[in-house]
Amino acid sequence: MVELSARIDRVPLAYVDVETTGLSPQGGDRVCEVAILRCQGGEVIDAVQQLVNPQRPMGAGAYAVHRISDAMLRDAPTFDAVADDVLDLLAGAVVVGHNTAFDLGFLAAELALLGEPLPPYVALDTLRLARRYVASPSYSLGVLAASLGVEGDGQAHRAMVDVLTTRAVLQRLVEVLWPMGVRTVEQFVAAQGGPISLERRRPVVDVPPPILDALRLRRLLHLRYRSEWGEVTERIVEPLGVTDRGGHVSLVAHCHLRNAQRSFRLDRIIEMDVIESFE
C-alpha cells in the first residue's frame, strides 16, 4: 500500500487511461484500449498499451471520440489477457488519471467479470486538482494541457497519448502546489477534495462458468429464461457483460429474439449452454 506521508516525487505513480465502447459499464460497455505508465522519481519504470477486444460492438458516440473501430479490435486480445499486467502496474502505486473514477470504474467492471476485485488504491485526479487550482476555459484534458503549456503529441483520446498528457499535466500541477506546501501523497489527496471513490463499485459476483466461457471465447448462449410474470422463453443471446443494476445480478446481452440489448436476471435463468461463435 502507498505510504500517505511520503512525498509525491518519491512514490510510484501509475498513470492510467482507458478507451471504451460507451459510458456505462453497468449497461454493458467495455474497455477497448488500456494504457498504464508506471513512473517513479521522474523515470518510466514500466508500461502497457493494448487494444482490447470488448466482445461487443463499438458505440457510435465512442467511435466518434477515439476512432477505434470494430475492425481494429477484431484480432485484439480480450481483457483477461492483459489483466495481470494491469494489476502488476497498479500494485503499490498512486493511480493518476484525468477523471480517474471513470477509468477505475471500467477497470473494476472488467475485473469483476473475471471474478477479481479491484485492489485497494490511492488515486489522484488531475481534473479535480485543476478545477481547484488552475484557471482554464475548459477542463477537458486537451484544453487544460494547452492552458498549462503542455504540447500535445499524437491523437487525443487514444489511451497512451492521454496517459502522457496526464503525466505532463500532473507535473505542472505539482509545480503549482509545491510552493503552497502540498508535497505528500496525503496532502495531494486533500488538495483534490479527498479520496476518490467509485459511485458504484461493482461487487465481485459468482458469475456462472457458461457466461464466463461465452464472454472469453466470444460465443453465444442458449437460455431458458423465466420472466417476472412466469413466462418461460428460449433465447439465443450474445453476452456483453454482467451487472448488479437494481440490486439483482444480471447478464447484459444482445437478444436475437428481440434483436435488442436486454438484461437477464441470473436468478431467472433456468438453463444456459454455450453454443457457437458469433463471428
| pLDDT tens per residue, range 261-271 | 888 989 999 99
180 Cβ partners below 8 Å, 6+ apart? none
Q: Which residues contact 239 (CB under 8 A, 6 or more apart)?
A: 55, 211, 214, 215, 221, 251, 252, 253
pLDDT for res 204? 46
State residue 129's pLDDT score: 97
Report pTM.
0.76
In this structure, what are the phi and psi dihedrals at residue 195, rounded to the nearest 5 degrees? -65, 155
> Which DSSP helix (H) or strand (E) runs through 235?
strand 232-243
Most confidently modeled of 18-27, 67-76, 151-160? 67-76
The segment with the largest mean pLDDT, out of 14-18, 61-65, 230-234, is 14-18
pLDDT of residue 216: 73
Question: Is residue 203 very low, low, confident or very high in pLDDT (cuts 50, 70, 90)?
Answer: very low
180 vs 28, higher pLDDT: 180
> In the predicted model, what is the mean pLDDT of the chain?
90
Question: How distant, in Å, are the alpha carbons of 17, 74, 126, 205 from that of 143?
Answer: 17, 32, 13, 39
Residue 277 pLDDT > 70, yes or no?
Answer: no
Residue 169's alpha-carbon distances to 38, 113, 141, 152, 172, in angstroms, are 15, 32, 8, 11, 5
pLDDT at position 205 over 80 = no
The domains located in the chain, with CATH, are 8-191 (3.30.420.10), 209-277 (2.30.30.520)
Q: What is the pLDDT of residue 157?
A: 74
User: Around Cβ 9, how many Cβ atoms within 10 Å?
Assistant: 13
Secondary structure (DSSP) of 217-233: HTEEEEEEEE-TTS-EE
